Structure 1
Amino acid sequence: MTDQETIPNLRIVWDVGRLSEWSRLLAECGQSSLTQGFGYNQAMLTVEGWRPRLGIIELSDRPIGLVVMSERRVFKLIRVARLHRGPLLRPEARKPTVFAMVMKLIRKEYPSGPLNWTAVVPEWGAGEEAEAMMRWAGFRRDKAPGYRTLWVDLRRDEADLRARLAQKWRNALNQAERAGLSVEIDRDGKAQLPWLLEQYQKDKAAKRYRGPSPKLVIRMRTGMHKDGDILLLRAVKDGVPVAGILILGHGKAATYQIGWSDAAGRATRAHNLLLWRAVQELKRQGRHWFDLGGILPDEAPGVTAFKRGMGGEEVELVGAWR
């Protein structure tokens, strides 16, 4: 891309969008990311001190997307900013030239220098063209790993979604459906979240894997439950909970956040049942996309294989840049 290919009527309007506009644009972007939503960013502000800054992306004065930068100050002089899985564009605006120009505008607003530290992981697929666009926009590649995830397209009918499950995954689901499990659904997290977080924290400490802190999850639940963006499912066997998952909604999409299963849950394949019931529930809510929450093929091959079994589309983002 050259300077002659820039889009003169494209701009980012910072610090003016209202919450209602933020929510509307998030939904209109369809395949959105949790980290660009209001509830997540409010939780990050409260728990970790990252202040969100909303930018409305406009083309010829018409909103076509949004971007949320997170900022904090170091020694009151250095502005540290980061962007994780943005910008988000409406489907008709998802063009390479638009993405490249938006990133160039972000670079202009957040220049590189001794008093400005910026890190971005853009919501754009990996590839040589994408890397060339990032360099054109003024960014340089970081050594930090990028991000990979799997998307399940909930616009497909239920029979098609089940047919797309890997054979092994579908067999496990069939086993779970015959195992005498009951599924409890909590649509605001008030009843079951304390229980799930207790199990999750013990499991996380024992297995030493990465994941959001319970405090951050609680703050997200507080900020999102009024919008109906909390979905918690629990599997019960003979009156005893054996597995649970938490899913967070954002616009027309939702993200698998945390999960837990004990030995009985693993033996009965409860996790397969919970995720399948979650797919059904998300479809009833009118969600179009289900983000399975990231994969780490090298560090967590078992979890990655399990998520791949759901038949989603695997996506690798363009990576980390500064």
Structure 2
Amino acid sequence: MFDALPEFHRPPSLPRAVRPTALQQSALWLSATRLLGSNAEMVDLGTRRALVLRRRLKIIGDLALLSRAELGMSPGDLTALRHHLGTRHLAVNAETMEDADALARAGFRRICAPRAIAELTLDASSDVMSARLAQKWRNRLRHGQSQNLMIQRRPMQPDKRFWLFRAEALQSLRKWYRPLAPEMVAAMAASKPGAVQVFTAYHLGRRVAAMLFVRHGLQATYQIGWSTPEGRKLSAGPALMWRAMVELQAMGTDRIDLGAADKRLAPGLARFKCGTGAEIRQLGGTWVDSGWRFRPAQHTMAEVA
């Protein structure tokens, strides 16, 4: 029913993580940030390790950032976290609602509300993944596969001037979002050749759509999606995503983080991501603890919502 694909060798005996690690907590992200000259390190937090980014800013001083690290710490331990990290200010992008509740109880201040992301589990059987597709999404996929699209997958070279970055920059202006800096994507490509994979759809020799994925461990993150009006008419998006699902799984990927899925602010994008069979999960929002002010009284998430 679906396109025949070349076989890939899945690395044998790879350990499976109990819970997938976000790109911002991966060894690839650590290597790339260091390559760009940032102060990044892995630190021990009880029984876990987390990637911490550090910056010294004018006026406010030292700032440490924990982005999407699943902490699993008690409110009491979180109360001392800023001092444990030796920083004047600490910002935490909470990975789970459980971490968010503990941060609230520890006296952190929430500065950004939680956002939802779409997470897609892959399967070695394309039939299993096909059965999970929403009916309308499956119909668009069939339409795309009937349009004589040529789809290519290639590893991205470490070039911050790669054509897709320019195309996304123009798209981001129209759709009001801030893309990841091309320098960071190029640094990840330089840190581990083959980590950044680009799927491009052509029609009659013209590029009509493209998707960029970052592979890290057994996971991948959907980082860029771009399409022309012609590509949308040809249903190139579903055709590209399906090809990426099958090929990334064959390369050893168990799960794709499809990124933000806000049904209120971007309902069309959320429907597209959910149509793949992905599940929506709520992150915990952004929290801060600062040495500039007294720690507020403890609260629960229900009280700050």
1:87 aligns with 2:70: yes
Deviations 1:106-146 (A, max 9, x none): 6524149xx7111112222x2xx55443344x242413122
Q: Quick one: structure 1 residues 233 and 297, their matched pair in 2 at CA, closer, same or farther if it must change by over 3 Å? A: same
Write the mapping of 1:168-207 to structure 2, written as runs, cut at 5 A: 168-189=136-157, 194-207=162-175
The answer for the alignment partner of 2:53 in structure 1 is 70
Give the aligned residue type for 2:239. Answer: L
Q: Quick one: structure 1 residues 130 and 194, their matched pair in 2 at CA, closer, same or farther if it must change by over 3 Å? A: closer
1:52 aligns with 2:40: yes
Q: Quick one: structure 1 residues 193 and 282, their matched pair in 2 at CA, closer, same or farther if it must change by over 3 Å? A: farther
Contact 1:247-1:254 at 8 Å conserved across structures: yes
Cα distance between partner residues in 1 of 2:130 and 2:109:
39
1:235 aligns with 2:201: yes
1:154 aligns with 2:137: no
Give the aligned residue type for 1:280. Answer: V
Contact 1:189-1:231 at 8 Å conserved across structures: no
Give the aligned residue type for 2:218. Answer: K
Deviation at 1:269, TM superposition (A): 0.6
Give the aligned residue type for 1:259. Answer: G
The answer for the alignment partner of 2:293 in structure 1 is none
* 3-state secondary structure, aligned to 1:100: coil
Normalising by structure 2, we get a TM-score of 0.80
Give the aligned residue type for 1:224. Answer: K
Cα distance between partner residues in 1 of 2:108 and 2:78:
14
The answer for the alignment partner of 1:262 in structure 2 is 228
The answer for the alignment partner of 1:40 in structure 2 is 29
Write the mapping of 1:203-214 to structure 2, written as runs, cut at 5 A: 203-214=171-182
Q: Quick one: structure 1 residues 56 and 150, their matched pair in 2 at CA, closer, same or farther if it must change by over 3 Å? A: same
Computed over aligned residues only, the root mean square deviation of the Cα atoms, in angstroms, reads 3.0
Cα distance between partner residues in 1 of 2:281 and 2:18:
17
* 3-state secondary structure, aligned to 2:190: helix
Q: Which runs of 5+ in 1 are unaligned?
A: 1-24, 60-64, 89-98
* 3-state secondary structure, aligned to 2:164: helix
The answer for the alignment partner of 2:95 in structure 1 is 123
Contact 2:261-2:280 at 8 Å conserved across structures: no
Normalising by structure 1, we get a TM-score of 0.76
The answer for the alignment partner of 2:183 in structure 1 is 215
Cα distance between partner residues in 1 of 2:112 and 2:230:
38
Cα distance between partner residues in 2 of 1:44 and 1:104:
31
Contact 1:186-1:192 at 8 Å conserved across structures: no
Q: Quick one: structure 1 residues 164 and 287, their matched pair in 2 at CA, closer, same or farther if it must change by over 3 Å? A: same
Cα distance between partner residues in 1 of 2:61 and 2:165:
35
Deviation at 1:296, TM superposition (A): 2.6
Cα distance between partner residues in 1 of 2:78 and 2:41:
12
Q: Quick one: structure 1 residues 188 and 108, their matched pair in 2 at CA, closer, same or farther if it must change by over 3 Å? A: same
Contact 1:27-1:251 at 8 Å conserved across structures: no
* 3-state secondary structure, aligned to 1:221: helix
Is 170-179 or 188-197 further displaced after alignment? 188-197
Structure 2 residue aligned with 1:224, among 192, 198, 207? Answer: 192
Q: Quick one: structure 1 residues 296 and 193, their matched pair in 2 at CA, closer, same or farther if it must change by over 3 Å? A: farther
1:309 aligns with 2:281: no
Contact 1:247-1:255 at 8 Å conserved across structures: yes
Higher relative contact order (CA 8 A, sep 6+): 2
Deviation at 1:282, TM superposition (A): 1.2
The answer for the alignment partner of 2:8 in structure 1 is none
User: Number of residue pairs matched?
Assistant: 275
Deviation at 1:248, TM superposition (A): 0.2
Cα distance between partner residues in 2 of 1:106 and 1:260:
40
Q: Quick one: structure 1 residues 106 and 249, their matched pair in 2 at CA, closer, same or farther if it must change by over 3 Å? A: farther
Q: Quick one: structure 1 residues 193 and 275, their matched pair in 2 at CA, closer, same or farther if it must change by over 3 Å? A: farther
* 3-state secondary structure, aligned to 1:119: strand
Q: Quick one: structure 1 residues 274 and 297, their matched pair in 2 at CA, closer, same or farther if it must change by over 3 Å? A: same
